[in-house]
Amino acid sequence: MLTIIVAVLVNLFIETSVSFTVVVPHDQSVAHVGSIVILPCWISPPENAEALEIRWYRHDQFSSPVLFYQHGKIQDVQEESYRDRSSLTRWSDKSGGLKDGDVSLRLEKLRIQDAGSFHCYVSGESEYDSGEVFLKVTALGSAPVLFPQPLDDGRMNITCKSSGWYPEPDVTWMSDERTVLRPGGVSRSRGADEMFSVHSWTAVSHLDAHLVSCSMSLKTGEFRESRIDIQAVIPSDPSDPWKALFFTLLICALLGLTGLILYKYRHKLTGKKTGKEVCEVRPKKKRTKEVVGDTIIEDLRKHAVQITIDCEHLHPDLKVSKDGKTVRYAPEYKPTGEKFQYELCAFGAQRFTSGRHYWEVDLARENNPPKNYWLIGVVKHGNFSAKDKSALTPSKGYWFLCSDGPNGIYINSDPPVTLSLTPRPEQLGVLLDYDRGQLSFYNVKERKHLLTMSSRFTGSVAPLFNPGVEDLSPLVILDCPEPVESSEPLLSNSSEA
Ligand SMILES: *[C@@H]1O[C@H](CO)[C@@H](O)[C@H](O)[C@H]1NC(C)=O
């Protein structure tokens, strides 16, 4: 009898003492030099972590941690290089923070040296647990600069230079976007800042090539590319200006003719459907690891709506295709400064005051480099002029995800949060749940839920698009067929992820 009571008591004791495990993601986080990254870590089951000890440290540097939290506050024992750069943060908008066991680390002003593993170590009165988070740091270099030099044999020696890369980028030369050219030579050097500079050259004949492009790319898929029209830099032969003129005119005429024929032919072939894009999951190209998330895109598409651009409130420097589905900036547009051009906004002609609505945007068109600059979300109807980033907050009626090239992808929560989304979404799904006050983003190809913003919508809201200016690739709204019957129950796993 006594033994039974003792056993019960022991059992009770074990069950009431705190028992948790530390949970970290399997995927490594990827972020750019200079940016902000959040390394996720939380305890499970969720419980208030304010009374616990939280230690983030690297390698075997247990006693000089990146961050140390104890007795309810961050202790001043950080390793020198992490001072003023590290803090505890919430992994997502939905997390309750420390109170809910979220002990994620925020690191600012990332440096190359930050790459590698971080230990997240949490200890309570009677036990502890830890997990390891991996961080990969990359740097997207400058746009390559191309420099042509005529060679004695009549060919052109084109040099391509770019700097500020990490790790070393791959160099690809192409002519007329079809043929890969062999580089004559590639040399790489490493600066004091650990970044790589790359110098490559290739010799081409203007008889074989027209547009020559040099592209430098990272394994993450991010790249920088420049092109040169070598026909435009052929040194004219002073002995025979008429011949040169004749050939130039001939080439122009031929090009014009082919263009016209192609245009007519295409029109005839496809009739009215020219350029119409149907939303379907295209097979992925060139990806070795097949990552398949668990979001059922077909369920999202039950809420599909046809979105077209509202031409009335369009920024004057944007160009929209006839069918209102494709938007890009006009070549005449002169960006002000180097920052993301927030003013280049296009709005959906459709407005919503209730219900669920879903649409998809293509960010990696075939035959175009993938887009690195875009802004996609919703906006309170009537907010037609956007200029300053600081004014584009949820409380002012803007909700969006923005990809700002090397500065990363961020959501405009207040304050904005940079995300490490790898791979970058090539086809982005947007689900507006007006009644629940949620805006969710999905990576359609990977079938993954990316994030959900929670807010309260008032009045009518419209889709918001901005194609950016640093890449010429267009932003294309896909045609998702509208369902015959809607009001199906929404998938439950998506917004809770
Ligand atoms: C082309 O120019 C590069 C310098 O950018 C030089 O190193 C290389 O030797 C040149 N190639 C030829 C064939 O002259």
- Give the pLDDT confidence of 427-449 residue by residue, as tens digits: 999 999 999 888 999 989 888 88
The residue written with tokens 């979220």 in the block is 102
Indicate which CATH number applies to the domain containing 311: 2.60.120.920
pLDDT of residue 420: 66
The residue written with tokens 């929670």 in the block is 454
Atom 5 of ligand 1, nearest CA residue: 159
Residues 330 and 435 in one domain: yes
pLDDT of residue 487: 44
The residue written with tokens 């988070």 in the block is 133
Give 182 Cα–ligand 1 centroid separation in angstroms: 14
Residues 173 and 126 in one domain: no
Domain assignment present for residue 202? The answer is: yes
Atom 4 of ligand 1, nearest CA residue: 159
Residues 316 and 431 in one domain: yes
pLDDT of residue 269: 36
Give 152 Cα–ligand 1 centroid separation in angstroms: 12
The domain of 378 spans: 297-493
Give 178 Cα–ligand 1 centroid separation in angstroms: 24
Give 216 Cα–ligand 1 centroid separation in angstroms: 19
Tokens of 121: 């170590």
| Amino acid at site 321 | S
Give 71 Cα–ligand 1 centroid separation in angstroms: 64
Spatial distance between the Cα atoms of 147 and 225, rounded to a whole number of angstroms: 14
Give 164 Cα–ligand 1 centroid separation in angstroms: 22
Domain assignment present for residue 26? The answer is: yes
Domain assignment present for residue 283? The answer is: no
Residues 336 and 460 in one domain: yes
∠ CA 136-32-467, rounded to 5°: 130
Spatial distance between the Cα atoms of 174 and 153, rounded to a whole number of angstroms: 21
Residues 120 and 157 in one domain: no
Spatial distance between the Cα atoms of 200 and 210, rounded to a whole number of angstroms: 19
Residues 333 and 302 in one domain: yes
pLDDT of residue 434: 93
Question: Which numbered atom of ligand 1 lies nearest the CA of 147?
Answer: 5
pLDDT of residue 262: 42
Spatial distance between the Cα atoms of 289 and 222, rounded to a whole number of angstroms: 17
DSSP bridge pairs for 304: 358
pLDDT of residue 221: 82
Domain assignment present for residue 151? The answer is: yes
Give 149 Cα–ligand 1 centroid separation in angstroms: 9
Tokens of 479: 């045609």
Final residue of a structural domain among 116, 138, 160 = 138
Sheet bearing 105-107, strands edge to edge? 37-39, 105-107, 86-88
DSSP bridge pairs for 139: 166
Give 158 Cα–ligand 1 centroid separation in angstroms: 8
The secondary element (H helix, E strand) that includes residue 147 is strand 145-150
Question: Which numbered atom of ligand 1 lies nearest the CA of 203?
Answer: 13
Nearest to 312 by CA among 381, 376, 235, 222: 381
- Within 13 Å and on the Cβ side, how many CA atoms surround 51? 6
Question: Which numbered atom of ligand 1 lies nearest the CA of 157?
Answer: 1
Say how many Å lie between the first and final Cα of the chain, rounded: 48
Residues 47 and 129 in one domain: yes
Assess contact for 212 and 204: CB atoms under 8 A: yes
Domain assignment present for residue 54? The answer is: yes
Atom 12 of ligand 1, nearest CA residue: 157
Indicate which CATH number applies to the domain containing 41: 2.60.40.10
Tokens of 485: 């019957």
Spatial distance between the Cα atoms of 96 and 454, rounded to a whole number of angstroms: 13
Question: Which numbered atom of ligand 1 lies nearest the CA of 159?
Answer: 5
Residues 106 and 158 in one domain: no
State the total domains in the chain: 3
For the beta carbon of residue 40, count every other beta carbon within 10 angstroms: 22
pLDDT of residue 466: 94
Spatial distance between the Cα atoms of 400 and 412, rounded to a whole number of angstroms: 6
Atom 1 of ligand 1, nearest CA residue: 157
Nearest to 284 by CA among 296, 292, 294: 292
Atom 6 of ligand 1, nearest CA residue: 201
Give 157 Cα–ligand 1 centroid separation in angstroms: 6
Final residue of a structural domain among 178, 200, 231 = 231
- In this structure, are strands 29-32 and 128-138 parallel, antiparallel, or unpaired? parallel
Atom 8 of ligand 1, nearest CA residue: 201
Give 4-54 pLDDT, tens digit per residue: 444 444 444 444 445 899 999 888 888 999 999 999 999 999 889 999 999
Question: Which numbered atom of ligand 1 lies nearest the CA of 151?
Answer: 14
Give 171 Cα–ligand 1 centroid separation in angstroms: 16
- What region does 326 belong to: left with phi over 0, alpha with psi -120 to 50, or beta? beta
Atom 11 of ligand 1, nearest CA residue: 157
Check the CA dihedral 49-53-58-60 and report its sign. negative
Give 185 Cα–ligand 1 centroid separation in angstroms: 8
The full 3-state SS of 172-235, as one line of letters, equals EEEECCCEEECCCEEEEEECCCCCEEEEEEEEECCCCCCEEEEEEECCCCCEEEEEEEHHHHCC
pLDDT of residue 280: 57
pLDDT of residue 278: 60
Spatial distance between the Cα atoms of 434 and 308, rounded to a whole number of angstroms: 19
Domain assignment present for residue 185? The answer is: yes
**Residues flanking ligand 1, CB < 6 Å:** 151, 157, 159, 184, 201, 203
Final residue of a structural domain among 183, 202, 231 = 231
Residues 82 and 202 in one domain: no
Residues 458 and 320 in one domain: yes
**Best residue for ligand 1 mutational test, from 147, 151, 159 (most atoms within 8 Å of Cβ):** 159
Residues 127 and 164 in one domain: no
pLDDT of residue 496: 36
Domain assignment present for residue 11? The answer is: no
Domain assignment present for residue 279? The answer is: no
**Low-confidence residues in the chain, pLDDT < 70:** 1-18, 232-294, 415, 419-420, 483-497
Q: Under 8 Å CB-to-CB from 232, ≥6 apart: which residues?
A: none
The secondary element (H helix, E strand) that includes residue 246 is helix 241-270
Residues 128 and 155 in one domain: no
